[in-house]
Amino acid sequence: MPRYITTIGLEVHAQLNTRSKMFCPCAVEYGAEPNTRTCPVCLGLPGALPVLNLAAIEKTILTGLMLDCRTPDISKWDRKNYFYPDMPKNYQLTQFDQPLCIGGGVPLYELSYPKDAQKTIKNPGKVVKLTRIHLEEDVGKSTHTGAGTLLDFNRAGTPLMEIVSDPDLETAEEAFAYLNSLRQILIYGGVSEADMEKGQMRCDVNISVRPEEQKELGAKIELKNLNSVSAVRRAIHHEVARQTECLERGEKLVQSTRRWDDDRGETQLMRTKEDAHDYRYFPDPDLLPIHTSPILERMRVHKPELPHEKCARFVQDYAVSAYDANVLASEKPLANWFEQAVAADTKVPAKKIANWVINELLGHLNASNATLADSKVTPQALNQLVADVELGKISNNQAKEVFEEMFATGETPVTIIKQKGFEQVSDSGAIEKLCDEVIAANPAKVAEFKAGNDKVLNWMTGQIMKSSSGKANPKVVGDVLRGKLG
């Protein structure tokens, strides 16, 4: 039986989070009353003209900087002609042959892969090559009802960045990782909210399967209607299996577009190459070409530290493990939160804070299905809690109890420790008194210790903890006992 090679390329559309639309001053706003965020330009009224939103250009060029793309000196606008009721002008302003960004790549992070695949990553450290990134305008929204089709042009003219990868991916898991990693980077750069479920990021998959001995790529099959990262993974698995079966049966695959049906877990044929549009691209005469160099220079300083750069710094500066650094850097707000907690009092070891963030904070957030933004625990409060543990004011188990309360109420550790009566007695005078009592009451144990049985010390410490109802600091108790007996 021949082996098959899968080749995958992704086309991602990401909505930029600019305040206004691509070519008019209308607000970009979701959930507004239909057709209330429109004007002559985005409605395609006769005589209206587009004017560039510079912020959209800046954000796209910034994305190019983050993804190591090249930005040519001149970038221009083209018209893509096709008729559809949700497209007001019946042509879309886009960039055909002189996009804002060329080349570059998306690094696949270990944690971007699906959890069940992180142990079996085929190409660790892979960077998926990009073909280009260009900017275009979004279309309106059609809602089909029994009575007809309703059109809402609030979305029409929203800046949309199209990120096109090379056919450089091999598996569904890589595609999954690509989308997560890309999303993370877009959020890091503050250019897009990039939420697939909210339609802020959309993805078409080009996929082809060919027998190993065949040199040229197999027929390109495009998948549409993929509304989540996991749907992309499922769809690719399904499509690879389907195409492989076809080839095994000796069928010939033809270039086509297929629609993913998430409920049925299968793809359905939409159209074949013969129905392909001729978009009749030509340069838009209403918009001038963009001279990118001054924008590029300006945006260089805005390039943020990227997830993998942050990871490396966390390992270096905070002595956290690579895995922990990955977790902390996975989301920019989390990384910022962590760094604020560390900065609150730098005497507290960062590594300890990292453990608390990852195990307790994230654990609690996950368990309660909440996000960091919902958390009542402040970075400063966590630092205080960890400091208390480090200074021996409370035990680790007590601290977990305190954290529970902090997470639930947002109270500070000081208050909760007081309420719970957790303050440990570290005052050696009081502890000495307790030690003396125990030594006096247990001469046989003292003799055992002196004969060399170290374990007796633990027993005596236990007695003192009991008589102090747990408040004595076990470390101080141990030290005092040793001094008195040794």
Counting Cβ atoms within 10 Å, is residue 81 exposed (0-12), middle (13-18) or buried (19+)?
A: middle
Is 169 near Zn ion (CB under 5 A)? Answer: no
The continuous run of DSSP H or E covering 270 comes out as strand 266-272
Q: Can you tell me which of 4, 7, 13, 44 binds another protein, judged by CB under 8 A?
A: 44
Please compute, for residue 343, the number of CA atoms within 13 A of its CA located in the half-sphere on the CB side. Answer: 7
Is 146 near another protein (CB under 8 A)? Answer: no
**Among 12, 34, 30, CA closest to 21:** 30
- Out of another protein, Zn ion, none, what residue 30 binds, judged by CB under 5 to 8 A for its kind, is none
SS3 for 153-184, per residue? CCCCCCEEEEEEECCCECCHHHHHHHHHHHHH
The two beta strands, 256-261 and 221-226, are: parallel
Which CB, 275 or 454, lies closer to another protein? 275
Binding residues for another protein, total number by CB under 8 A: 29
Q: Can you tell me which of 8, 16, 42, 172 binds Zn ion, judged by CB under 5 A?
A: 42
**Among 425, 384, 390, 421, CA closest to 403:** 384
What tokens does 54 get? 């510079």
Is 156 near Zn ion (CB under 5 A)? Answer: no
Which CB, 39 or 457, lies closer to Zn ion? 39
Q: Can you tell me which of 54, 74, 90, 322 binds another protein, judged by CB under 8 A?
A: 90
Distance between CA atoms of 22 and 373, rounded to whole angstroms?
30
Give the amino acid at 349. Answer: P
Is 244 near another protein (CB under 8 A)? Answer: no
Which CB, 83 or 147, lies closer to another protein? 83
Is 43 near another protein (CB under 8 A)? Answer: yes
Which CB, 286 or 309, lies closer to another protein? 286
Is 133 near Zn ion (CB under 5 A)? Answer: no
- Out of Zn ion, another protein, none, what residue 443 binds, judged by CB under 5 to 8 A for its kind, is none
Q: How far is the CB of 86 from another protein (least distance, A)?
A: 9
- Out of another protein, Zn ion, none, what residue 288 binds, judged by CB under 5 to 8 A for its kind, is another protein
Q: Can you tell me which of 39, 219, 246, 312 binds Zn ion, judged by CB under 5 A?
A: 39
Q: Can you tell me which of 85, 211, 265, 410 binds another protein, judged by CB under 8 A?
A: 85
Q: Can you tell me which of 7, 72, 81, 423 binds another protein, judged by CB under 8 A?
A: 81
Is 294 near another protein (CB under 8 A)? Answer: no
Is 155 near another protein (CB under 8 A)? Answer: no
Which CB, 20 or 112, lies closer to Zn ion? 20
Is 24 near Zn ion (CB under 5 A)? Answer: yes
Please name every residue paired with 8 in a beta bridge, in sequence order, or none if there are none.
169, 207
- Out of Zn ion, another protein, none, what residue 42 binds, judged by CB under 5 to 8 A for its kind, is Zn ion
- Out of another protein, Zn ion, none, what residue 282 binds, judged by CB under 5 to 8 A for its kind, is another protein
Binding residues for Zn ion, total number by CB under 5 A: 5
Is 88 near another protein (CB under 8 A)? Answer: yes
Site string for another protein, 261-290 (x = CB under 8 A): -----------------x-xxx--xxxx--
Q: How far is the CB of 98 from another protein (least distance, A)?
A: 15
Residue pair 485/435 in contact (Cβ under 8 Å)? The answer is: no
Binding range to another protein, per CB under 8 A, among 7-15, 76-84, 217-225, 255-263: 76-84
Distance between CA atoms of 106 and 203, rounded to whole angstroms?
15
- Out of Zn ion, another protein, none, what residue 26 binds, judged by CB under 5 to 8 A for its kind, is Zn ion
Which CB, 55 or 414, lies closer to another protein? 55
The continuous run of DSSP H or E covering 80 comes out as strand 78-81
- Out of Zn ion, another protein, none, what residue 285 binds, judged by CB under 5 to 8 A for its kind, is another protein
Is 46 near another protein (CB under 8 A)? Answer: yes
Q: How far is the CB of 283 from another protein (least distance, A)?
A: 9
Is 477 near Zn ion (CB under 5 A)? Answer: no
Q: How far is the CB of 274 from another protein (least distance, A)?
A: 14
Is 27 near another protein (CB under 8 A)? Answer: no
Is 381 near Zn ion (CB under 5 A)? Answer: no
Q: Can you tell me which of 89, 126, 132, 183 binds another protein, judged by CB under 8 A?
A: 89
Which residues sit at the interface with another protein, rule CB under 8 A?
40, 43-52, 79, 81, 83, 85, 88-91, 149, 151, 278, 280-282, 285-288
